């Protein structure tokens, strides 16, 4: 079965929902295909304090508002619809779902986001779901009253640490540099939190455990000191990698990191195919994904052919 649309958006995070909103408001018949539930990585954000117009909100609240707004504008939102293949030759572009459904349009916007980067150290894979987590808001409550380690130094690591500090007994934030990359507001708040200790210039070399995590092995890069830090949970927040595995086989160009390459209009090397937000690399920010989507939709409207399928 082939469904025909004016535009297909692959991914229902902030970029995808904004693309759906703008396309629908401009009169396009648009569908947003989301592999899980709409919201993307935004759903994991305990606090969002840098999105204009919202002094402080949660990722869930912001995602719900974006989803409702796009739907009210007329965008069709299809959750639990994973796109596994793209057919991008010719004028009719097709996104094929895991169930074999085909969604055809003259333009496709790729808003597939990013997934959590791994440390790649011994024990990490072995203890996933048994003490190793990549989502503090999802798994944090399981460690109430316990000691945990957060790995990273950016906004995600800082926000995760602040969230966990309200739940657990002690948080060790392990960062490989001598200062945080997180925004100053987050960093200052974190450094003033009594049950948070920042372990500077240090990397995790292994995750330790028996049936579940019992700690991490640490190495201070400056002093050379090596030691084991007991902990019952390890939350890894060391960045993301673009979720772009389906694009290269279809002819869309990516860089060595897997980020989709786009021009100033967010168009890829294939006419009518755009990529927005996290899947195009840094900076991975909600507001940037939204802005990308607006640029992409408006550019397509300025160049699109008049023929519909």
For residues 273 and 114, what is the distance between their CA atoms, to the nearest angstrom? 18
Residues 103-131, buried b or exposed e (16+ Cβ, 10 A)? bbbbbbbbbbbbebeebebebbeebeeeb
Active-site choice (38, 99, 116, 139)? 139
* Alpha-carbon Rg for the chain in angstroms: 21
Active-site choice (138, 178, 197, 263)? 138
DSSP per-residue string spanning the chain: -EEE-SEEEE--SHHHHHHHHHHHHTT--EEEE-SSSTTGGGGG-S-B--BTTBSSB-HHHHHHHHHHHHHHHT-EEE-S--EEEEE-SSS-EEEEETTS-EEEES-EEE---EEE-----TTTTTTBTTTEES-HHHHGGGGTTSEEEEE--SHHHHHHHHHHHTTSSEEEEE-SSSS--S-HHHHHHHHT-TTEEEETTEEEEEEEESSSEEEEEEEETTT--EEEEE-SEEEE-S-EEE--TTTGGGT--B-TT-PBP--TTSB-SSTTEEE-GGGG-S---HHHHHHHHHHHHHHHHHH--S---
Catalytic status, residue 178: no
Catalytic status, residue 139: yes
Catalytic status, residue 99: no
- The tokens of 192 are what? 């003033």
**Contact present, 45 and 33 (Cβ < 8 Å):** no
Active-site choice (38, 99, 116, 135)? 135
Catalytically annotated residues: 135, 138-139
């Amino acid at each position: 079965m082939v469904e025909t649309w004016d535009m297909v958006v692959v991914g229902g995070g902030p970029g995808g929902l904004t693309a759906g909103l703008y396309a629908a408001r401009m009169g396009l018949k648009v569908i947003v295909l989301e592999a899980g539930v709409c919201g993307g990585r935004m759903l994991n954000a305990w606090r969002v304090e840098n999105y204009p117009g919202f002094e402080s909100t949660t990722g869930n609240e912001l995602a719900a508002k974006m989803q409702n707004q796009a739907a009210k504008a007329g965008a069709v939102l299809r959750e639990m619809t994973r796109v596994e293949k793209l057919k991008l030759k010719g004028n009719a572009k097709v996104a094929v779902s895991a169930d074999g459904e085909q969604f055809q349009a003259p333009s496709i916007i790729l808003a597939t986001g990013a997934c959590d980067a791994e440390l790649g150290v011994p024990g990490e894979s072995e203890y996933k779901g048994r003490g190793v987590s990549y989502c503090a808001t999802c798994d944090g409550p399981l460690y109430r009253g316990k000691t945990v380690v957060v790995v990273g130094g950016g906004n995600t690591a800082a926000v995760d640490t602040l969230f966990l500090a309200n739940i657990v007994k002690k948080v060790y934030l392990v960062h490989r540099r001598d200062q945080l990359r997180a925004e100053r507001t987050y960093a200052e708040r974190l450094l003033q939190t009594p049950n948070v200790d920042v372990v500077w210039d240090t990397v995790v070399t292994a995750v330790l455990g028996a049936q579940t995590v019992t700690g991490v092995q640490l190495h201070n890069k400056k002093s050379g000191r090596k030691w084991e830090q007991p902990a019952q949970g390890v939350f890894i927040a060391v960045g993301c990698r673009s979720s772009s595995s389906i694009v290269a086989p279809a002819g869309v160009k990516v860089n060595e990191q897997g980020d989709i390459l786009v021009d100033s209009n967010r168009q890829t090397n294939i006419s009518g195919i755009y990529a927005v937000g996290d899947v195009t690399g840094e900076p991975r920010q909600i507001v940037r994904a939204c802005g990308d989507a607006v640029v992409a939709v408006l550019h397509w409207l300025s160049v699109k052919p008049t023929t519909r399928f």
